[in-house]
């Protein structure tokens, strides 16, 4: 049976003033029914801020902003006095595209740079920017078993790692690498990294929750200064070149690393799984050159692992300490053989390998 994920990550909010990132970009947008405030979180010689003003007659009867991580755009929709409206923001090359999906017959007016533009269905507004969209591509995806509604107001109230971490990873995995800073809320990220190094699975989950509370606003919009003042404020000055994107990008890499950690040709599976996460799946994992895999665990222990080598190679897996042996099968119909943990595996190109029946 193939290990796959069908869950969709589309966190949303009904609150005016919700801040969130446009996927694949360094742009934060703070969304109100009649105002979009765009801010570039990467400084290039000066702060880059843009404002777009949708012309709505009075407060809408309903209003939603959604971060669609499957389509990689932000979608804003609701019911105004003149009817239903829906438009989206997409990052592309050196521009942001505002595309109108649905609107009243007379169109929807947007004020941008002192000019009012009337956009009708399937028309778009092109906004030039100084920074390109991120080019990193990854099909890796994880899920920890939560099927609750992704209403972010409720997610922030529940503070469940099972809900937060997969979406955090999905959004942050495309952000380029950045050294972990020792300033502001990034210190909480450094604490997470230290617990991972120590393989402290009892504390790392709570450390991520604390980072989530102080380091993010809106829908996972990162910040280096905790504007909610949840702890004693520091008088330190944040360097101008520092970007809060480090919390999202390096946080995503730490999340990945406590599920799969690659060192030379040795691959550690679930080396520091937080105690709060009981079951889950991680699919299309590019663990090293020419090898991808899917893994599934339950009751906090690895249950099944499938390997998809693209070239001949030898690899060694390490598993959680109580495990001593596993079954290795070639193909779905192979009978397989029992092997002790730590046995080097010789993998042939384009052959499916299944590891299961893990024993203590």
User: Do 271 and 295 meet the contact criterion of CB atoms below 8 Å apart?
Assistant: no
User: Which string of DSSP letters, residue by residue, matches 156-211?
Assistant: HHH--HHHHHHHHHHHHTTSPP-PPPSSTTHHHHHHHHHHHHHT-TTTHHHHHHHH
Residue 136 domain-assigned (yes or no) = no
Residues 150 and 123 in one domain: no
* 181/183 Cα distance (integer angstroms): 6
Same domain, 232 and 187: yes
Q: Which two tokens stand for residue 262?
A: 């690659």
Let me know whether 270 and 335 are in one domain: yes
Domain end call among 93, 128, 163: 128
Residue 201 backbone class (left: φ over 0; alpha: ψ -120 to 50; beta: rest): alpha
- Is 156 found in the same domain as 86? no
Of 222, 240, 255, the one marking the end of a domain is 255
Whether 134 maps to a domain, the answer reads: no
Element (H, E) at 347: strand 345-347
Q: Which domain holds residue 178?
A: 141-255
- The pLDDT tens digits along the chain (360 residues) read 689 999 999 999 999 999 999 999 999 999 999 999 999 998 765 678 899 999 998 899 999 999 999 999 999 999 999 999 999 999 988 899 999 999 999 999 999 988 999 999 999 999 998 888 888 788 999 999 999 999 999 999 999 999 999 999 999 999 999 888 888 999 999 999 999 999 999 999 999 999 999 999 999 999 999 988 887 666 778 887 789 999 999 999 999 999 999 987 799 999 999 999 999 999 999 988 899 999 999 999 999 999 999 999 999 999 999 999 999 999 888 788 999 999 999 999 999 999 999 999
The C-alpha atoms of residue 344 and residue 338 are separated, in whole angstroms, by: 13
Same domain (yes/no): 318, 266: yes
Asked if the structure places residue 267 within a domain, the reply is: yes
Q: What is the CATH number of the domain that holds 326?
A: 2.60.40.1180
- 250-265 in b/e burial notation, b at 16+ Cβ within 10 A? bbbbbbbbbbbbeeee
Give the Cα separation of 355 and 224 in Å (integer): 42
Same-domain pairing of 122 and 148: no
pTM: 0.94
| Number of folded domains that form the chain | 3
Indicate if 120 and 149 belong to the same structural domain.
Answer: no
């Amino acid at each position: 049976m193939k290990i796959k994920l069908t869950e969709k990550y589309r966190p949303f909010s009904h609150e005016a003033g919700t801040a969130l990132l446009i996927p694949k970009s360094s742009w934060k947008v703070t969304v109100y029914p009649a105002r979009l405030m765009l801010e570039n979180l990467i400084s290039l010689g000066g702060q880059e801020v843009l404002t777009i003003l949708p012309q709505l007659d009075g407060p809408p009867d309903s209003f939603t902003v959604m971060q669609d991580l499957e389509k990689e755009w932000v979608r804003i929709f609701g019911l105004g006095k003149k009817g239903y409206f829906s438009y989206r923001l997409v990052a592309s090359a050196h521009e942001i595209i505002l595309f109108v999906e649905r609107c009243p017959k007379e169109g929807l007016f947007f004020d941008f740079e002192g000019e009012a533009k009337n956009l009708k269905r399937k028309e778009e507004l092109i906004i030039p920017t100084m920074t390109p969209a991120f080019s990193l591509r990854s099909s890796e995806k994880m899920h920890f078993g939560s099927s609750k509604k992704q209403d972010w107001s409720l997610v922030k109230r529940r503070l469940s790692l099972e809900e937060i971490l997969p979406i955090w990873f999905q959004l942050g995995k495309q952000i380029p690498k950045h050294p972990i800073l020792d300033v502001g809320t990034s210190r909480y990220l450094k604490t997470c990294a230290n617990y991972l190094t120590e393989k402290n699975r009892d504390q790392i989950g709570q450390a991520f929750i604390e980072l989530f509370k102080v380091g993010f606003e809106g829908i996972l919009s990162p910040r280096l200064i905790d504007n909610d003042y949840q702890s004693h404020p520091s008088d330190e000055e944040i360097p101008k070149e520092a970007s809060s994107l480090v919390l999202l990008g390096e946080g995503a890499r730490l999340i990945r690393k406590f599920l799969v950690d690659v060192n030379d040709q040795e691959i550690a599976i679930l080396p520091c799984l937080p105690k709060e996460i009981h079951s889950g799946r991680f699919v299309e994992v590019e663990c090293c050159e020419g090898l991808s895999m899917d893994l599934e665990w339950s009751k906090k222990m690895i249950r099944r692992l499938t390997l998809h080598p693209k070239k001949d190679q030898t690899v060694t897996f390490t598993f959680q300490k109580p495990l001593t042996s596993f079954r290795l099968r070639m193909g779905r119909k192979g009978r397989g053989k029992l092997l002790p943990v730590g046995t080097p595996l010789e993998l042939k190109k384009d052959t499916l390998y299944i590891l299961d029946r893990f024993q203590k």
